[in-house]
Amino acid sequence: MHFFIMFIRKTALSALGNDAFKAIVLFAALLWYATAGFLYFELPQKPDLGWGDALWWTLVTMATVGYGDLFPTTAGGRYLVGLPTMVFGIGFLGFIITSVASQLIETRSRRLQGMLQTRLADHIIIVNFTQQEEILALVRELRSDESTGKKEICLIDERLPQIPPQFVDLGVSFVKGNPTDEDVLRRACLDTASHAIILSRDRHDPHADDQNLVTVMVIEKIHPAVFTVVEVIDPRKTHQFELAGADSAVCVNEFAVNLIIQELQDPGVKAVVDDLTSNTEGEQLYIVPIERMKDWRYRELAAWGQERRTLVIGLMTDGRPRLNCAPDELVRDTDRAIVIASVRPQNIRTAG
């Protein structure tokens, strides 16, 4: 028996060999000693005592609570059991609590610094931290629409020292590292992500598109099914992103030029665009799947929208918009309706 106890103690402590484990083992040993010792000395005087009572007394004594509902009355119970339990119990308990607290603090710090593996699924990945207010606005827009409002969000950036508290409050995860690195993307659980938004890290850097092009290629290689939207600085490189596999390449500079011209020609266009592209207020643009129609003509869609305070403005056919269609325009079952509404409509069913 003595040999067996020595073998267990030697192998267990040498295998894990850290102070926290040793403290836990000693704490458990003291817990067993105090519980069994209390019963051994006090049971003859109090036959109604059970193991639960003895364990309760041990925990209360170690925590220095001292309720007084149970206490040793024999000399052995007081000096051979109670005294060691009071002296050593609070020390072991304090050490364990401190160790656990330190581990939690360290884990939180590493999470804020983006050093931990995430555990996400069906989430949205945002690549590159541009400006705090811009990313906050992006997150709020995602949270404001029912199609993305419940999805978790993970930010990837290699220059951000740690994620700002505002993003933590919004439930945004953070992975620090180069987004062209496969290991970094896997720490962000790219394999199970539904969408990836790739922003230009520096809009004044002519090579920003080149890095994003590599990022798109790596993302599409790892998870081709993810829907990828990438910001493009040079409109001449838009086609390159499409060849790399990006589902949508948005050239902000080109859009800005077109918007400026439209605002010049028709003042107020910017306010309309702002209203239509914001999920937080006003009306929004939506592209809605069509499930069932009676005669599959555009007029039927328009009538469906009028009944629901939804304006049908066109069709999305093979990825290209057809706006202000003729009433007799044929609608295919693969088309989607382009609508303006205050909330996202459900899939369109005009026929019962």
Q: What is the pLDDT along the chain (352 residues), one digit of tens a residue?
A: 344 345 344 444 444 446 667 777 888 888 899 899 989 998 888 888 889 989 998 888 888 787 888 888 888 888 898 888 888 887 777 777 787 788 788 888 888 888 889 999 999 999 999 989 999 999 999 998 888 989 999 999 999 999 999 999 899 999 999 999 999 999 999 999 999 999 998 888 878 899 999 999 999 999 999 999 999 998 889 999 999 999 999 988 888 888 899 888 999 988 988 888 888 778 899 999 999 999 999 999 999 999 999 999 999 999 899 999 999 999 999 999 999 999 899 999 988 6
Look at residue 277 in the predicted model and tell me its pLDDT. Answer: 84
Spatial separation of the C-alpha atoms in residues 77 and 63, rounded to whole Å: 18
Spatial separation of the C-alpha atoms in residues 10 and 70, rounded to whole Å: 36
Look at residue 306 in the predicted model and tell me its pLDDT. Answer: 92
**Residue 103 half-sphere exposure toward CB, CA atoms < 13 A:** 7
> Phi and psi for 36 in degrees, rounded to 5?
-70, -40
Neighbours of 230 (CB within 10 A): 27
Q: Contact 318/349 with Cβ under 8 angstroms?
A: no
Spatial separation of the C-alpha atoms in residues 177 and 199, rounded to whole Å: 15
**Residue 331, both tokens:** 């609608």
Neighbours of 335 (CB within 10 A): 22
Q: Domains in the chain and their CATH numbers?
A: 2-112 (1.10.287.70), 124-256 (3.40.50.720), 283-349 (3.30.70.1450)
**What strands, in cross-sheet order, belong to the sheet with 311-317?**
320-323, 311-317, 336-341, 284-292, 348-349
Residue range 225-249, pLDDT digits in tens: 999 999 999 888 999 999 999 999 9
Look at residue 348 in the predicted model and tell me its pLDDT. Answer: 92
| SS3 readout for the chain | CHHHHHHHHHHHHHHHCCHHHHHHHHHHHHHHHHHHHHHHHHCCCCCCCCHHHHHHHHHHHHCCCCCCCCCCCCHHHHHHHHHHHHHHHHHHHHHHHHHHHHHHHHHHHHHHCCCCCCCCCCCEEEECCCCHHHHHHHHHHHHCCCCCCCCCEEEEECCCCCCCHHHHHCCEEEEECCCCCHHHHHHCCHHHCCEEEECCCCCCCCCHHHHHHHHHHHHHHHCCCCEEEEEECCHHHHHHHHHHCCCEEEEHHHHHHHHHHHHHHCCCHHHHHHHHCCCCCCCEEEEEEEEECCCCEHHHHHHHHHCCCCEEEEEEECCEEEECCCCCCECCCCCEEEEEECCCCCCEECCC
Q: Which residues pair with 336 in a beta bridge?
A: 289, 316
Q: Is the pTM of this model over 0.75?
A: no
Spatial separation of the C-alpha atoms in residues 137 and 35, rounded to whole Å: 58
> Phi and psi for 253 in degrees, rounded to 5?
-60, -45
Spatial separation of the C-alpha atoms in residues 124 and 346, rounded to whole Å: 22
